[in-house]
Amino acid sequence: MSEVPPVPPIQVGGYGRAGGYKFSDGEVDAVIKQWEDLLTDARTDLAQARIIANVKAPADEYASNDFVAKGSNPSGQTLLDQHQRMVDYTNNFITALKAAKNKITVAEQEAADAAKKTGGL
């Protein structure tokens, strides 16, 4: 699977690096919500891609096995890989947006998100 591209610079109010996206303090929550909605859709698509990537031959005979081995499974794996990249990129973008909103680094935001998931905050 290929590497997920880095998130462009994000600036919220006066915090963050210029040269990418810039949001006011008042609009960043709406942007985060839009990206969270996109993530929900991307996760649904990922689950469907997983089904396609793991399709099984309907019968144990040459035509079915050849179709699955040379057609549907390789194509399905590519579809799955690309959807996984989209989920990963969207997650990274949301983390960067939240970090800029909170005026902290991405690493600090990742730690805060991890603590929330484990009940630490």
Answer whether residue 14 is part of any domain. yes
Distance, CA of 59 to CA of 42 (rounded, Å)? 32
**Res. 1: pLDDT tops 70:** no
> Which of 71, 82, 73 minimizes the C-alpha distance to 53?
73
H helix intervals, 14-118: 28-53, 62-67, 73-102, 106-118
- Count of structural domains, the chain: 1
| β-pair type (21-23, 15-16) | unpaired
Tokens of 76: 């399905």
Answer whether residue 118 is part of any domain. no
Task: Count other Cβ atoms within 10 Å, centred on residue 81.
Answer: 14
Q: Which domain holds residue 66?
A: 10-108
Answer whether residue 16 is part of any domain. yes
Q: What is the pLDDT of residue 49?
A: 95
Q: What is the pLDDT of residue 84?
A: 97
**Res. 83: pLDDT tops 70:** yes
pLDDT tens-digit readout, 46-81: 999 999 999 999 999 999 999 999 999 999 999 999
Question: Confidence class of residue 15 from pLDDT cuts 50, 70 and 90?
Answer: confident
The mean pLDDT value for 91-104 works out to 93
Q: What is the pLDDT of residue 18?
A: 83
Distance, CA of 114 to CA of 112 (rounded, Å)? 5
Bridge partners (DSSP) listed for residue 15 = 12
